[in-house]
């Protein structure tokens, strides 16, 4: 399938972020990087804000495709444990600089955050039951702790020294083994 000009622009923008940060994504730099005229870029992204939102949507969509591949289906087609396994698997690699910077950017802009929140709502354990009593609360906390650990594995190499591939695989295997299986009849499968 042929890549659209829009996707070509966004992939080039992600490469610029990887090399020099979000501030490096200007129409001039992007024009040079993807071989399109500045007016061609403006046609697809009339403002820098729309371009930045496009980058967020592009990376969020790419991650959701990875999640669907890892889970063997869309979020609404698989159970909570399968969704959580897919999250662990997709976050088991170290974040790229571009992925990390774009995620950090989303913390300061509600429009960007909303893009990621949509994916999170479909895939991640909910924080709603974390303080619930009983088995439902225990399952929710166990699932959420696995989520937090997967997030930590993803950003680990930016905070501490790098893990080897063998070490990452060992940690991923341990995280997967920690995913609670829902076996209680009548329990909400959403954690």
Domain presence at residue 103:
yes
CA-based diameter of the chain, in Å?
60
Distance (Å, rounded) from C-alpha 25 to C-alpha 108?
17
- With bands split at pLDDT 50, 70 and 90, how would you rate the model's confidence at 120? very high
Q: What is the pTM of this model?
A: 0.90
Lowest mean pLDDT among 2-11, 50-59, 127-136, 178-187: 178-187
Domain presence at residue 141:
yes
Domain presence at residue 60:
no
Domain presence at residue 24:
no
Q: How many domains does the chain have?
A: 1
- With bands split at pLDDT 50, 70 and 90, how would you rate the model's confidence at 2? low
Supply the CATH number for residue 150's domain: 1.10.357.10
Domain presence at residue 137:
yes
Domain presence at residue 48:
no
Domain presence at residue 85:
yes
Label residues 85-117 b or e (16+ Cβ within 10 Å = b).
bbbbbbbbebbeebbbbbbebbeeeeebbebbe
Distance (Å, rounded) from C-alpha 117 to C-alpha 60?
10
Domain that holds residue 136: 67-177
- With bands split at pLDDT 50, 70 and 90, how would you rate the model's confidence at 3? confident
Residue range 167-191: mean pLDDT, rounded: 77
Domain presence at residue 111:
yes
Q: What is the pLDDT of residue 183?
A: 44
* CB-based contact 182:139 (threshold 8 Å): yes
Q: What is the pLDDT of residue 188?
A: 47
pLDDT in tens, 5-47: 999 999 999 999 999 999 999 999 999 999 999 999 999 999 9
């Amino acid at each position: 399938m042929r890549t659209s000009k829009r996707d070509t622009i966004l992939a080039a923008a992600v490469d610029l972020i990887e090399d020099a940060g979000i501030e490096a994504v200007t129409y001039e730099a992007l024009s040079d990087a993807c071989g399109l005229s500045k007016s061609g870029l403006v046609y697809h992204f009339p403002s820098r804000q729309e371009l930045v939102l496009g980058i967020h949507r592009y990376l969020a969509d790419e991650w959701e495709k990875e999640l669907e591949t890892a889970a063997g289906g869309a979020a609404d087609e698989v159970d909570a444990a399968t969704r959580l396994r897919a999250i662990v698997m997709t976050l088991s690699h170290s974040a790229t600089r571009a992925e990390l910077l774009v995620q950090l950017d989303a913390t300061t802009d509600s429009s960007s955050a909303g893009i990621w929140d949509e994916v999170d709502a479909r895939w991640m354990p909910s924080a709603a039951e974390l303080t619930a009593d009983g088995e439902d609360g225990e399952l929710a906390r166990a699932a959420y702790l696995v989520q937090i650990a997967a997030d930590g594995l993803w950003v680990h190499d930016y905070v501490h020294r790098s893990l080897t591939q063998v070490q990452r695989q060992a940690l991923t295997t341990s995280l997967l083994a920690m995913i609670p299986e829902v076996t209680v009849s009548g329990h909400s499968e959403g954690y």
